[in-house]
Each structure stands twice: as structure tokens, then as C-alpha cells.
A and B are shown apart, each in its own frame.
Chain A
Amino acid sequence: MLIKLTGGTVYDPASGIDGQAKTLYVQDGRFVKRPADDVKIDKEYDLKGKVVMAGAIDMHTHIGGGKGNIARMLIPEDHRNDPVHRSDITRSGCGHAMPSSFTTGYRYAEMGYTAGFEPAILPINARQAHMEMADIPILDKGGYVMLGSDDYLLRMLTAKKDQKAINDYVAWTMNAAKAIGVKVVNPGGINAFKFNQRQLDLDEKNSHYQVTPREILQVLATAVKEIGVKHPLHVHGCNLGVPGNVETTLDTMQGIGGLPMHLTHIQFHSYGTEGDFKFSSGGAAIAESINKHKNITADVGQILFGQTITASGDNMRQHANHGFANPNKWVCMDIECDAGCGVVPFKYRDQNFVNALQWAIGLEIFLLVDDPWRVFLTTDHPNGAPFTTYPHLIRLLMDKSFRNDMLATIHPEAQKMTTLASIDREYSLQEIAILTRAGAAKLVGLEDRGSLAEGAWADITVYTEDADREKMFEKPDYVFKDGELVVVDGKVVHTKWGTTHIVRPDWDISVEKDLQKYFDRFMTMKVGNFKISDDEITEDGRGSLTTHGLNGVT
């Protein structure tokens, strides 16, 4: 089937195309050259005057894995407000804060997204993450495997194993868990919580292992680079949510010494201690540091007002924050000498000083980071807000007067504590396309995605220009996934199954000997049963694996 998409206004930062009229051709799921004049076009879409971008990619969204399912179980009352009917082509489910898997796929697609990446896959829970994501239709998916609080790594550090051994372990774990990146959450802190430590600053030692978060970040960032993984170490830093954590975050950026590092939901790590409430914005300082350190990327983790639920691997910080649970119920778990999780429902309120300032801090960071290729649009779904708020967030970034109208409604003391009103920047369509498409694909290390160039997979979103950017982005005219039309006028018209993106870095076979001993002595399953095989993803006939390339390994 040869499809012609005629005359749309194309925003494709990956190809350097910024709002030019262009006709695209799609065959067998990919973009192709303009065919000869005598070749029959099977289907033509007239896109004159429409905005055309690649399908959007959410590089950090909690869509698969145990803590998300705990979140679902915890708040049935939230689901009851948003039941989703089945139709002839779609399955039933529930929406809002933590939607069911099918609803997640439909609603992402209906906003023009065609891929999402689960950022916190515990190695021991990786099967569940992949099984849940296997029930998310339309989207491509993948995930980052969590290390840094696992006893195996900390034992290696205490035993002063060399970097090569750590590289092998990281590469082995990525293969075993079918990951495309590596994440660290509160480095060593989840582990320290099991020894009853309640906080762990960058240079504070784990009381048992005598290892610091700084050391963990250093060896993991080095490992990720040396085994050639394109996605930089994905870091949820120390002291999430703690007033004054801006200093720790600046130190984290500075301290990594030029290694590639991605700081996630950085808004939650950008707090000062000034003012009457001893809570202030570190947004400007964080943005300045990102601007200066070219090795650093960040996603924002914007909060938006309303009910949501927070689900994190960081049970140390989630436990510390359980007093804010709204409604008042919460779950913390220690998990398998691997990590942990904490699930706390949350209601962000615009008349609450702290929440209001959190909202402003996120926007400050978006607007003060100069390079759109190094900042990414997230709410850390569902932690800052459900992903369905993205069109609203895009409007806040693109429309200064709308932003200032919103600013005028939040807690008055918070208004005084932010420079937001003085920031004139408005994101352009091209910049939005960088944040949500080209930049995200590059950061995750995806080949042939996030672009409209010949040879790329034809994930496409078509919008109608509208000065109200929220309206524009919440209801695309068309969405194509792998060249198949899946959404028309913001509604799913056809479903299919996306692929799972992974990498397969090399590792020395000898690493498994030690791991086998460790599993036999201390774990609760055999190492052979721990590793996820390819057929677990593909045997149902719907799933597939797409293996991406690595950087040249030295």
C-alpha cells in the first residue's frame, strides 16, 4: 500500500525541516522516496494547511510494572470517575490518574503519541513491566532497568570490583531485563532505607556498604557509556522533594565530570530554602547549570493541579512524604534485594503554596533551558500529573498570555517567589517537535523513529492549526503508526501492536558464574529463570523486539 500525504506543513527537526510544505510517501510502514509518476497511489490525504509531525515519544512515563498496578489497586474511587466503554474495535477500561493498559494506549495515540518508555523497571519485576506493556495497544514501548540499590552492585563496590566487572554486570542485566537504558533512583537510598536510614545525601554513606550515591552515579554513568548504550544514565537524584535539594542537584551535575547523564523529573529536585515558608525556586540555577553542562539532559516532571497518584521506586522519599497522602492511604514495599517502591495518592492544589510554586518551578526550567534538544516534556506520569494533561502543558509553554493568566490564579505568595511572569519565551512548533519527537528519539537511542525522513518508520501525527494550542494538540486529525491510520479526529479507528525497543550490549560470559552463585546463595530464584527470553515477548504473536545499535565501544 502506497500512501501519499500531500502538502502538509512539516515540522521535522531531525531532518532540519521547520514548517515547510512537503509531500510525504509511505509504503510498507516506512517513508519512501517520491515514486515515479506512473506508480499508482493507493490512498492520498490532502494535508494542505495542516501541521505534520512525527508521532510523539514519551521518554519517561510510568506505564508498566508493579508499582503502577499497586497504584491502580489502591484507588478504585478514582477509576469510577472515568469509565471507558468498549467499542467494536477497542477494549473497555478506566482512565484518569493511572489508566488501565488498553486505555493508556488509546489515549496516548489519540494525543498523537506513538511510543512510551517505562523508566523504572526493577530487574526482578521486568517480566511484569513487559507483560503490562504488551497489553498497551498501538504504542511502541521499552524501558530503563533500575540499578544502584541492588545488593549485588553494592557488594561489588564494597569489594572494589573494577569498572570492567561492573560494565559486564550492567550489560548482563540490560539483556536479562530487555531494557534500552539504565536508571538509578535515589542512588543507594532505596537500599539504605532497608537499613533504616531515612535520608542519603550525595556524599553520605550507606551504613552497611559504606558506599555513597556519588560513587554509584560515577560507576553506573561510566558503565553505560563504556558498554555503548546511547541513552545516558537516567538519574532520579537524591533528596526528591526536599527543600534545599537544588544544591545536591547542582553538585550531581557538576560532579559527574562530563559523563553523559540524564536527570529526570528535575523539577522535584530544584528547591531552595528561602522565603517565609523556607521553600523557594531553584529553577533558574538549575537551568543555568544545564545550559553550561552539555553532557546533561533533563526532563521536567511538570506538576499540574488536580488529583493524581505518585508511584516511585524511591520508597525512602515516598515514606517520608506519606503524610501528604490524599486520600490518606499509601503503600511502601521493599523488593527482592533489588529495590523498592512507594505509592502515595496526591492532590496538587493551586492554592497550596508549595504545590503552586512547584508548578512555577517546572515552567521556569522549561523556559530557561536554552537548548530544546536537552530538555524533555514530561509530567513524570502519573507523578506530576496524568499524561493526558500534555496538551495543556504545551499551551503553557507556547502561549505567554495564557501562562500568565494561569499564574495570576495560583497562591499569591507563590506568585511572588517565581520569575515566571518576567519570562517572555514562547515555544515554537519546531521546538515542541524537538522536545516530544526528534530530541526524545535521539535521547532514547531510537533509530528510524521520531523523524519523517525517508527510511524512517511512518509514525505520523497531523494537526489542524489552532491558536489555542491545547485544543490543537489534544485532538489530531490523523495519527499513523507504522504507516497504518490509527486515529481520526482524536478517536482511535484502528488498533495494532507496537514493538519493544531494546539494546543488547555485550558482556563477558564469566559474569554469569558469579551471578549464579549469588542467586543460589541469596536470591529466591535460579539465575536461569531470572533472565527474560526473547520468546516471552514474541510468543503471543503480537509482540516483537527491535534491537538498536550501540555507540562504538572502546
Chain B
Amino acid sequence: MTEITEVPSPFCGIGTDDLSIQVDGLDVKVIENGCAVNTPAFEQAVTDTSARVDGKDVSLEVAVAQAAELLRASNQPVIGGCATDVNGMRGVMALADRSGAVVDNMNFTGARRNFLALQDTGWMNTTLAEIKNRCDYFLVVGVDLEAFSPRFFERYLWNEESMFLTDTSQREVVYIGKAPSGEASTSPAGGKAKILPCADADLPEVMAVLRALVKGKKIVAENICGIAVSDLQAVAEQLKAAKYGVVTWAAGTLNFDHAELTVQMLSEMVKDINTMDTRCSGFPLGGKDGDQTANQVCGWISAYPARARFSSGFPEYDPFLYDSNVMLANGEADALVWVQAFNAAAVPPQTELPTVVVARSGMTFAKEPDVFIPVGTPGIDHAGHAYRLDNVVAIRLKKLRDSGLPSTADVLNAIEQAL
């Protein structure tokens, strides 16, 4: 039995790297600094150790050959999931280039709301250490942050010391939209977050009014979607009075039509505030299921985010057309490769098409895929790299145990070679 400290997590998105983990053979136990997201993700047992073809155990070589065979017979494969580490994603890109596949990260339809805003007007954003040390006003839009990331407040807002705030417990936290599910946002001094609740679908209107108020426009109505305009006026004034305000949102939870316009509205509001003699930054939440990793690696290898097609022999990007779910539903794809090294519960979409699954050991299926290859989890079974939600920091994942499972990169590179 060994104990490993300062273990970084690829699961929570916020790059916690202070976990202590006990390893006993294949058993992993989080003994310090676990959370509702990380602990079960680390502790999940290894069950499958053998690859399968048509439900029968086979050698890795046979499974790889069969996967290559299916891809050879395909005119338009899609590689979905794309939830893995940097080397795994490099493997995805090489395989897609070789087989003319579509690459589509499983969180892209949510992330698209950010990319559309980014590619239309851009933004001004910040990262975790700046929040930890500088943020004096924290506005949460449309997300239950502690459910998204249980340790966010503990690590980045209620930290004991900061370089530029004398008392971190005096930071102000305001929610617009979804209310928090627990008390994590209550400061150690007892200060409660201010909550201005509204339905998700009302956020476009509420954010438009907030931006107008920031810009000093008169609003005639007294109430917007259940929120008093005077309350929004107060938020606008506080954002402008703050030295380093931060506005956060999670694209994945903005589940309404044209949510990209809401992302754009708040990003433009942040830009406006930076012309009003103070600083303010946006902070998009994400980083789960390897989504930032997928976008970063696809970004440098293809120049596009992780929804790109390679069947023309070069990368083409379309955030709508190359949605793998839409392609499967419309009969535009003829084979599916599902890559998911982190989360055994994230199963491939249902399809009658030939399916190859390269996924974390323990994934169970309603319909057995043609080929299933269990792989090790980055940060548990092998070393690797994963991006944190703020898109700047890649964490160095450690190998904790010897499971003998191949990495995503091993498997995908072998399939690519077999082609």
C-alpha cells in the first residue's frame, strides 16, 4: 500500500492538485481533499481488462485490427466523446486525419455558445489565480457553481490569504438566474450571496438590461422577469465600483435558444466596464470530460476547435453541421468511434452503425458495440496532461497504479497504424 500526495485531478475542471491518494494494488482511495466529483471518479474500480469484439474477449491486437477494418469500410466516420488527455487527443487527431473522420467533443454543443461569441466579438477573461488574489466582486450567471465544482469557493474565493485583498471573506458574491444549491458561497464571515433568481430562458433579457444599466441607459420598467430593476442597478454600480470584478458562467448550463447571444452580451458588458476606469473580467466555466484539452489540441493541430471534419483531406470547421449527434440522426455518418477515458457513465449515443468504443474500464452498454477497448484513465493508470477550465494551465497528471491497461493514445495510434 502506498500513499501519493499532491495528486492533480483531471475530473473537476478546476485543476485541484492537493489530493492524497492511497493505492493498494488496483484499489484507489482518496484520503484527503476529495469532493463529490473527484472521489468517485478516482475510486471507480477496474472491471474490464480485456478488449471485446462482438461481446467476446479478444486480444488488443485483434480488437485494433477489427476497429481498423470497420473504419476502412466507412466513408464518413465520426469520432465522438473525445474525452481524454493531450496524448489521447493527439491520437484522435491522427486517426481523424487518416480516416477522414469528424472530430466532435461531447461538450461542444454547450461550448459552442462560447465559441460563437468568441469568434464574433471576442472577450476579456481571467484565470483562477487572478480570481484568488484580486477578485473583489464575483457575479455568477445562470449556474449552480458549487454543484458544478464543489471546491471552487473554498479554493479560489474563501482562501485564507490573498496578495491584494486584506480580507477575502469580504468579497461580494451575487447570483443571477439559478440559485446556489448549498452554502458554499456563504463567506467564512457569514456573508451570504445575493441572489436574483430568474428562469434560464429569461437570462437574455436580464443580461441585456444589466448591460444597459452598466452603460448608464435609462430603463423604464421596474421589474424584469421577476427581478427588480433597482436590484440590477445595484449590481451594475457594484461592477463598476469593484476594482477587479469577475463575471462567470457555464456555457453548458445555458440551455436555451441562442444562448451565445447571452455569452456575448455579458462578454461585451465586461469589455464596457474596462473602459470605465476599472477592471473586470469574464470567466467561462468548463474543463470537464477533457473538453478544454480537446479544443486546445484540436486547436493547434487543425487550427479549429474540436468540431471539425477531415473527409476533404483537410480540416473544415462548422459548429453546427459537424455535430456528431445530428450527423448520426440524419444518416450523414456511417461509423462511430467513441473515446471516453475519464467517465464510464458517459456512454456513446445510441446508433445502429458500426461502433468502436475506446473507453474507461467499467463502461456498460445497452447494446454491445462492435469493438470495445478498455483503456486506462489519464491521471490514474498513466501519466499525461489535461487542461484546466481557464484554458491556460495544463496539469501534469500522475500515474498512480499499474493496471496494465493501454492508454487512449496507444490504442488510437495502433488503429491509425493499422489503417
Q: Chain A: residues with CB nearer than 8 A to chain B?
A: 66, 68-69, 72-76, 79-80, 83-86, 91-94, 98-103, 122, 124-125, 127-128, 131-132, 135, 151, 155, 193-196, 208, 319, 325, 328-338, 343, 521-526, 528-529, 532-533, 535-536, 539-540
A501 to B31, CA, bound (A): 40
B133 touching A522, Cβ below 8 Å: yes
Closest to A63 in B: B300
Q: Tell me, rounded to whole Å, the shortest Cβ–Cβ distance linking B240 to chain A.
A: 12
Whether B392 pairs with A66 at a CB distance below 8 angstroms is yes
Between-chain CB contacts (< 8 Å), 5 pairs: A72-B304, A84-B314, A135-B300, A525-B395, A526-B6
Contact of A194 with B122 in the complex, beta carbons under 8 Å: no
Given the complex, which residues of B lie within 8 Å of A99, measured CB to CB?
303
Contact indicator A335/B314 (Cβ below 8 Å)? no
B325 within 8 A of A: no
Query: Is A131 touching B385 in the complex (CB atoms < 8 A)?
Result: yes
Closest Cβ–Cβ distance, residue B48 to chain A (whole Å): 26
Q: Which residue of A lies closest to B94 (CB)?
A: A91
Q: Which residues of B contact A (CB under 8 A)?
A: 6, 8, 15, 17-18, 86-87, 90, 94, 97, 115, 118-130, 132-134, 155-156, 160-164, 243-244, 274, 277-279, 281, 295-296, 299-305, 310, 312-317, 383, 385, 391-396
Residue of B with least CB distance to A197: B279
A interface secondary structure, majority: mixed
- Given known contacts A83-B315, A124-B393, A334-B281, A92 and B97 CB-to-CB distance under 8 angstroms: yes
- Min C-beta distance of A178 to chain B, whole Å: 13
Contacts of A540 in B (CB 8 A): 87
- Residues of the B chain whose Cβ atoms lie less than 8 Å from the Cβ of A131: 86, 300, 385, 394
Using known A-B contacts A101-B301, A333-B127, A522-B162, determine if residue A194 contacts B279 with beta carbons closer than 8 Å: yes
Residues of B within 8 A of A75 (CB): 119
Residues of B near A532 (CB, < 8 A) are 396
Residues of A within 8 A of B121 (CB): 328-329
Cβ contact within 8 Å between B393 and A525: yes
Q: Which residue of A lies closest to B7 (CB)?
A: A529
The answer to whether B300 touches A86, judged by C-beta atoms less than 8 angstroms apart, is no
Contacts of B244 in A (CB 8 A): 194
User: By the criterion CB–CB under 8 Å, are B302 and A94 in contact?
Assistant: yes
- Closest Cβ of chain A to B269, distance in Å, is 15
- On chain B, the residues within 8 Å of A68 by CB distance are 300
Decide if B243 touches A196 in the complex (CB within 8 Å): yes
Contacts of B310 in A (CB 8 A): 86, 92
Cβ 8 A contact of A91, one of B127, B128, B301: B301
**Given known A-B contacts A124-B392, A337-B133, A529-B6, A132 and B125 have beta carbons under 8 A apart:** no
Instruction: Select from chain B the residue with minimum beta-carbon distance to A152.
Output: B163
- Our pick among B129, B161, B314 for the contact of A337 (Cβ within 8 Å) is B129
Contacting pair B314 A529 (CB below 8 A): no
Q: Nearest CB to that of A193 among chain B residues?
A: B279
* Docked CA distance A462–B5 (Å): 54
| With A86-B310, A93-B314, A333-B392 already in contact, 11 other A-B pairs whose C-beta atoms are closer than 8 Å | A72-B303, A74-B118, A80-B317, A92-B315, A99-B303, A125-B393, A337-B163, A521-B160, A524-B393, A526-B6, A529-B396
Whether the pair B161, A69 counts as a contact (CB closer than 8 A) is no
Selected contact of A100 from candidates B128, B301, B396, CB within 8 Å: B301
Contact of B303 among A98, A521, A526 (CB under 8 A): A98
The CA of A80 and the CA of B156, in the complex, are separated in Å by 40
A225 to B132, CA, bound (A): 34
Q: Which residues of A contact B132 (CB under 8 A)?
A: 522, 524
Knowing A524-B15, A526-B17 touch, does A330 contact B122 (C-beta < 8 A)?
yes
Task: Determine whether the beta carbon of A76 is less than 8 Å from that of B317.
Answer: yes
- Interface contact B86-A331, CB-CB below 8 Å: no
Taking CB atoms, residues of chain B closer than 8 Å to A101 are 300-301
The answer for the CA separation of A101 and B301 in the assembled complex, in Å, is 5
Which of B86, B87, B120 interacts with A329 by CB under 8 Å?
B120
Q: Which residue of A lies closest to B270 (CB)?
A: A332
Assuming A74-B118, A91-B97, is B163 touching A151 (CB within 8 A)? Answer: yes
**Set of chain B residues within 8 Å of A128, measured between Cβ atoms:** 296, 392, 394
Pick from A151, A525, A535: contact of B15, CB below 8 A.
Answer: A525
| Contact between chains at A522 and B129 (CB < 8 Å) | yes
Q: Please name the residue on chain A nearest to B115 by beta carbon.
A: A73
The answer to whether B122 touches A73, judged by C-beta atoms less than 8 angstroms apart, is: no
A522 to B130, CA, bound (A): 9
Closest to B299 in A: A69
A333 in contact with B125 given A93-B301, A524-B393 (CB within 8 Å)? yes
Chain B residues in 8 Å Cβ range of A84: 314
Pick from A73, A329, A533 the residue with the most CB of B within 10 Å: A73
Q: Tell me, in angstroms, the Cα distance from A12 to B385 when the chains sit together.
A: 42
Q: Which of B119, B122, B278 has the most CB of A within 10 A?
A: B122
Neighbouring A residues of B317 by C-beta, 8 Å: 76, 79-80
Q: Inside 8 A of B129's CB, which chain A residues have their CB?
A: 124, 336-338, 522-524
Which chain A residue shows the least CB distance to B318? A76
Q: Which B residue sits closest to A336, measured CB to CB?
A: B129
Task: Return B122 CB to nearest CB of chain A, in Å.
Answer: 4
- Closest Cβ–Cβ distance, residue B290 to chain A (whole Å): 14
A440 to chain B, nearest CB (A): 24
CA distance A194 to B136 in the complex (A): 13
B303 touches A336 (CB 8 A): no
Q: How far is the CA of A92 from the CA of B313 in the complex (A)?
A: 7
Shortest B113–chain A CB gap in Å is: 14
**A-B complex: 9 closest residue pairs judged by Cβ atoms:** A83-B314, A94-B303, A329-B122, A336-B129, A100-B303, A127-B394, A524-B128, A92-B314, A330-B122
- Complex alpha-carbon distance, A533 and B384, angstroms: 12
Cβ contacts under 8 Å, A208 to chain B: 164
Contact assessment for A76 and B304 in the assembled complex, using a CB-CB cutoff below 8 Å: yes
Q: Flag if B6 contacts A79 (CB, 8 Å).
A: no
CA distance A524 to B394 in the complex (A): 12
> A184 to B87, alpha carbons, bound, how many Å?
31
Cα(A76)–Cα(B120), bound, Å: 10
Task: Kindly list chain A residues whose C-beta atoms are within 8 Å of the C-beta of B118.
Answer: 73-74, 329, 331
Residues from chain A with a CB closer than 8 A to the CB of B125 are 331-334
Question: Are A335 and B392 interface neighbours, CB within 8 A?
Answer: yes
Q: Distance (Å) between the CB of B243 and the closest chain A CB?
A: 7
A524 CA to B274 CA in the complex, in Å?
Answer: 25
Given the known inter-chain contacts A522-B129, A523-B129, please indicate yes or no for A66 contacting B163, CB distance below 8 A: no
A74 cross-chain contacts in B, Cβ below 8 A: 118-119, 122
Collect the chain A residues with CB atoms within 8 Å of residue B120's CB.
Answer: 329
For the complex formed, measure the closest distance between the CB of A347 and the CB atoms of chain B, giving whole angstroms.
Answer: 16
Known contacts A92-B310, A524-B132, A524-B156, A331 near B123 by CB under 8 Å: yes
With contact pairs A336-B128, A336-B129 given, residues A100 and B119 touching in the complex (Cβ less than 8 Å): no
